[in-house]
Amino acid sequence: MNEIINVIKTRRSIRRFLPEQIKDEEIQTIIEAAIHAPSGHNEQPWHFTVIQNKELIDHFSNVIKKLMAESEVEWIASMGRNEKLHIFYNAPTVIVVSGRKNAYSALIDCSAATQNMLLAAHSIGLGSCWIGLIRFLFKIEEEVRKLALPEGYEPFFAVALGYPDPTKQPRPIERKRDVVNYIK
């Protein structure tokens, strides 16, 4: 099978990581993949904050869980109360993806960049998970300031990254097939 198709089809969200930190070259490869994503009007309106400070990652996880526990949505509240849950699955690296506020299509562009990151990570043997739940953190200005974003940017989501724990990896999941129609 074509290598790219194989990477796309075998990527899974990884939620068990080894504690060992990933290499700087690996981060560079992943960021390079991100910045080669397409973007509306070629604005490339993204920014990436690479966090490798365990204390800060744990702190963010705790803040997010506290806010989730207060949610009116039961599955979110129950996740927030789950003592065993770490929002970033104890990944040694977390990359926050932010977009320029006045860009034409920042959220879409940042999503494309994020998918590139997940695929690049998988292609070099790293595990990754897209973390949308980080949005709870973004409600608190004081926490967002800790990201030291450039002026005019807002954070959208995060990617947890690390070496996958080889003993506990997910199997392929069924994909919905009835999602296409053809007009010829």
Contacts of 9 (CB under 8 A, 6+ apart): 1
Nearest CB to ligand FMN, comparing residues 150 and 172: 172
Tell me, what amino acid is at 2?
Answer: N
Residue nearest to ligand FMN (CB): 132
Q: Does 138 bind ligand FMN (CB under 6 A)?
A: no
13 binds ligand FMN (CB under 6 A): yes
User: 179 or 183: whose CB is closer to ligand FMN?
Assistant: 179
Q: What is the nearest approach in angstroms of ligand FMN to the Cβ of residue 63?
A: 14
By CB under 6 A, residue 86 contacts ligand FMN: no
Write the DSSP assignment of 93-133 as a string of letters.
Answer: EEEEEEEETTSSSHHHHHHHHHHHHHHHHHHTT-EEEEEGG
Q: Which is nearer to ligand FMN, 42 or 172 (CB)?
A: 172
Question: Number of C-alpha atoms within 13 angstroms, CB side, residue 129?
Answer: 22
Choose which of 31, 34, 68, 131 interacts with ligand FMN (CB under 6 A).
131
Among 28, 172, 6, 170, CA closest to 93:
28
Q: Which run of H or of E encompasses 154? A: strand 153-162
Residue 133 touching ligand FMN (CB under 6 A): yes
Per CB under 6 A, residues contacting ligand FMN are 12-13, 15, 129-133, 173
